[in-house]
């Protein structure tokens, strides 16, 4: 190897190393989270469009030493109550936060040169709202470092939820009729079924929740355990016995979409797709609504 060749090789290596160092040193700066009174923070109702009022990539201040963390459920509970409220929980965690802070304060990555590869990035989970609390009753709401696709790295939050949960508080959110329709797929206002004469074709249930009514009064929204199969139900026999308890869902068939489906839980015990002839409910179908 000649001296000139060795010099050129050294210069090439030096340029590569300098470029790599500069690439890492110049990773995007992240702002520092503001310190606020802990009692000024509360869990947001987990609606899809909620806004936490926090810089999504802020870091934990270097001199902030947390003794606890609070996380908030990302989703409302599975059941709506008769008063139109739905539960969600606030969780308090305690323990050693050093790993969590290290993960939360990592540098964000440079944007990828190959954005098409981000189609295979599955880090799109709905992350819990959270904040850290120190022994002086102060709090910070940090964000997350971002990966090369611009999506948050949730490792710090995962480390928090691996600590000891010392308290859980349930909150209740009052929903409007439209919000209940959005979350549970049924309206909490009783509507009498519209009985037709034609047999439904390719009948299928929309969603996995139903609204329950006693004497036409809304008493809650609940999930059903399994997917309902209505294709084999026979036409119902003539019956005039009025039900006192019904379940209401939505259905689609070959001719329509998002129509009312009423299940009589007593009385004639029929399944009535609006605009079609009633079907006779089976014991298996009725058991899903108990």
Q: What is the per-residue pLDDT across 211-239, written as a single tens digit (0 to 9) for each?
A: 999 999 999 999 987 777 788 889 999 99
Return the SS3 of 71: strand
The parts of the chain modelled with pLDDT lower than 50 are 9-12, 14-26, 53
CA atoms within 13 A on the CB side of 63: 3
Calculate the dihedral angle through the C-alpha atoms of 271, 276, 277, 282, rounding to the nearest 10 degrees. Answer: -20
Domain ranges of the chain: 27-108+125-174, 177-287
Q: What is the per-residue pLDDT across 191-211, written as a single tens digit (0 to 9) for each?
A: 999 999 988 877 888 888 999
What's the pTM value of the predicted model, to 2 decimals? 0.78
Return the SS3 of 104: helix
| Gap between the Cα atoms of 167 and 174, Å rounded | 23
Type and span of the H or E element at 271: strand 270-273
| Gap between the Cα atoms of 264 and 152, Å rounded | 47
What is the per-residue pLDDT for 27? 55
What is the per-residue pLDDT for 226? 75
């Amino acid at each position: 190897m000649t001296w000139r060749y060795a010099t050129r090789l050294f210069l090439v290596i030096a340029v590569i190393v300098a470029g790599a160092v500069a690439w890492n040193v110049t990773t995007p700066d992240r702002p520092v989270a503001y310190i606020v009174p802990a009692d000024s923070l509360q869990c947001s109702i987990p609606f899809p469009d909620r806004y936490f009022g926090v810089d999504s990539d802020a870091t934990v201040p270097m001199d902030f030493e947390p003794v606890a963390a609070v996380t908030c459920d990302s989703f409302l509970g599975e059941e709506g109550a008769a008063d139109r409220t739905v539960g969600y929980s606030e969780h308090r965690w305690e323990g050693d936060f050093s790993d969590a802070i290290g993960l939360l304060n990592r540098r964000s990555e440079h944007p990828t040169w190959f954005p098409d590869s981000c189609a295979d990035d599955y880090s799109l989970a709905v992350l819990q709202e959270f904040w850290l609390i120190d022994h002086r009753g102060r709090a910070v709401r940090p964000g997350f470092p971002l990966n090369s696709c611009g999506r948050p790295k949730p490792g710090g939050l995962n480390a928090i939820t691996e600590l000891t949960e010392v308290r859980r508080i349930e909150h209740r959110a009052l929903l409007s009729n439209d919000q209940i329709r959005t979350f549970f797929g049924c309206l909490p206002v009783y509507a009498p079924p519209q009985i037709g004469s034609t047999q439904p074709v390719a009948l299928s249930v929309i969603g996995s929740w139903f609204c329950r009514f006693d004497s036409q009064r809304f008493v809650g929204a609940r999930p059903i355990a399994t997917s309902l199969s209505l294709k084999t139900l026979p036409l119902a026999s003539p019956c005039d016995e009025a039900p006192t308890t019904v379940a209401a869902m939505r259905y689609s068939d070959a001719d329509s979409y998002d129509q009312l489906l009423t299940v009589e839980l007593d009385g004639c015990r029929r399944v009535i797709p609006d605009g079609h002839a009633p079907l006779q409910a089976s014991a298996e179908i009725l058991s899903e609504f108990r």
